[in-house]
């Protein structure tokens, strides 16, 4: 997903309706963790944040699952000087659509990530050096299982909801499949039950940009080094897939950089869109690990519920949660049709599921949109009373 806009200094500290200051914490699991691949880590760490309070019955928790380039910091600020709140701050907070006065919100950096959780940039205790590509292969299922261990550690007995967009939506669906008695509501947005050839193709171009960069060194680069050019190019390209023709045209059009001095016959930056993408690439390499990018895009590509369980309907057979799937008209990475198919398969499997489609022109990242319509839908879904458990099955 794209970075939140860099706004003017944040007035979000202690402001009414804001999460305010938050401190990330680490959950260290010291028991061995067996990945889907069969590879084993002696233990792992997940960095996470929580907002709101867990109630006495320990069942008001909402898990937020982040997308490819996201992290655990989805709301509030880390310091008074913080210019940028968490990536889903518009949605999460006291009185907001995901109301932290009612819900205990948890968000963790995924396994395989690079923002505090165990991943390829973590040190391998056996060698004293980063794992690099000797880190076990990560799947969406591994991410979900690790987060379940975190929730157990936090004493959560039942999730009121799991929410995620894009890769976060995949995790949310898988959570309801793998831990059916543990999840009441699933909200999956701008997601898919299996990546299309086009989505895999984009990921592969990103991976090739990284792996063809000589500084990648088979993944064995030192901390602070690595394939900076390749990772930046991967990010620039991926960024295009998160937006849309219309939104880029509105934001940049064919406007030129003033520094271009009217010089037409040059390969220096001429258009604002070029400068913007270069900036996106550069800021990304300062916060993201290239090997994590390889691991997580691979996890995305391999996600295929129909293949893993025989069919989508079989995959959803154990689900007990109520599901709401939201598609966005201009999303061409995980288009409305792929979101619709999730809801339809759930309904065919006899589950309580809904599908809503919001008209936007912002592309895949529309799920991060500041939209009262979207907030109303999400709030209505999270705060409605649980409908009677009528047997829908065939």
- Catalytic annotation, pick one of 117, 122, 166, 330: 166
Task: Supply 48's token pair.
Answer: 């996470």
Give whichever of 213 and 322 is closer to other proteins, judged by the CB atom. Answer: 322
Give whichever of 295 and 355 is closer to other proteins, judged by the CB atom. Answer: 355
Residue (of 368, 87, 363) closest to 248 by Cα position: 363
Active-site residue 289, yes or no?
no
Task: Supply 123's token pair.
Answer: 């040190």
Can you say how many angstroms the Cα of residue 236 is from the centroid of all Cα atoms in its chain? 18
Determine contact, residues 136/159, Cβ cutoff 8 Å: no
State the nearest-atom distance from the C-beta of 329 to other proteins, in Å. 10
- Catalytic annotation, pick one of 89, 99, 331, 365: 331
State the nearest-atom distance from the C-beta of 322 to other proteins, in Å. 8
Active-site residue 331, yes or no?
yes
Strands 61-65 and 104-108: parallel
State the nearest-atom distance from the C-beta of 62 to other proteins, in Å. 16
From residue 84, give the alpha-carbon distance in Å to each of 3, 78, 147, 251, 281.
Answer: 10, 9, 25, 20, 18
Give the footprint of other proteins on this chain (CB under 8 A): 322, 324, 340, 343-344, 347-348, 352-359, 373, 376-377, 379-381, 383-388, 390-392, 394
Give whichever of 238 and 349 is closer to other proteins, judged by the CB atom. Answer: 349
State the nearest-atom distance from the C-beta of 301 to other proteins, in Å. 26
Determine contact, residues 326/306, Cβ cutoff 8 Å: no
Which secondary-structure segment (H or E) carries 231? helix 228-242
Active-site residue 247, yes or no?
no
State the nearest-atom distance from the C-beta of 249 to other proteins, in Å. 24
Give whichever of 101 and 392 is closer to other proteins, judged by the CB atom. Answer: 392
Distance separating alpha carbons of residues 289 and 113, to the nearest angstrom: 8
- Catalytic annotation, pick one of 117, 364, 365, 366: 364
SS3 275: helix
Give whichever of 143 and 345 is closer to other proteins, judged by the CB atom. Answer: 345
Residues marked active site are found at 166, 331, 364
């Amino acid at each position: 997903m794209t970075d939140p806009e860099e706004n003017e200094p944040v007035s979000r500290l202690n402001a009414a309706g804001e999460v305010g200051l938050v401190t990330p914490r680490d959950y260290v699991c010291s028991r061995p963790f067996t990945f889907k691949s069969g590879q084993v880590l002696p233990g792992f760490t997940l960095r996470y944040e929580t907002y709101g309070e867990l109630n006495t019955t320990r069942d008001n928790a909402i898990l937020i699952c982040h997308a490819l380039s996201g992290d655990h910091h989805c709301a509030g600020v880390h310091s008074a000087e913080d210019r940028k709140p968490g990536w889903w701050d518009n949605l999460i907070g006291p009185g907001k659509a995901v109301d932290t006065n009612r819900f205990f919100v948890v968000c963790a950096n995924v396994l395989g990530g690079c923002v505090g959780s165990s991943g390829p940039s973590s040190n391998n205790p056996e060698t004293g050096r980063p794992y690099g590509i000797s880190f076990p292969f990560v799947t969406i299922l591994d991410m979900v299982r690790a987060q379940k261990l975190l929730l157990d550690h936090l004493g959560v007995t039942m999730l009121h909801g799991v929410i995620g967009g894009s890769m976060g939506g995949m995790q949310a669906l898988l959570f309801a499949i793998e831990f059916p008695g543990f999840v009441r509501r699933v909200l999956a947005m701008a997601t898919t039950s299996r990546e299309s050839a086009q989505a895999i193709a984009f990921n592969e171009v990103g991976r090739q940009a990284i792996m063809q960069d000589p500084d990648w060194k088979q993944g064995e680069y030192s901390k602070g080094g690595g394939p900076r050019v390749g990772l930046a190019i991967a990010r620039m390209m991926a960024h295009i897939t998160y937006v849309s023709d219309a939104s880029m045209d509105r934001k940049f059009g064919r406007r030129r950089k003033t520094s271009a001095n009217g010089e037409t016959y040059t390969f220096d930056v001429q258009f604002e869109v070029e400068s913007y993408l270069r900036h996106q690439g550069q800021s990304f390499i300062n916060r993201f690990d290239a090997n994590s990018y390889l691991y997580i895009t691979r996890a995305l590509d391999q996600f295929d519920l129909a293949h893993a369980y025989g069919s989508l309907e079989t995959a959803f057979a154990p689900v007990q949660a109520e599901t709401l799937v939201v598609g966005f008209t201009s999303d061409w990475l995980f288009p409305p049709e792929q979101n619709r198919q999730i809801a339809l398969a759930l309904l065919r499997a006899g589950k309580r599921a809904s599908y809503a489609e919001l008209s936007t022109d912002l592309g895949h990242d529309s799920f991060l949109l500041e939209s009262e319509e979207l907030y109303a839908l999400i709030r209505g879904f999270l705060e409605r009373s649980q409908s009677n458990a009528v047997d829908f099955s065939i």
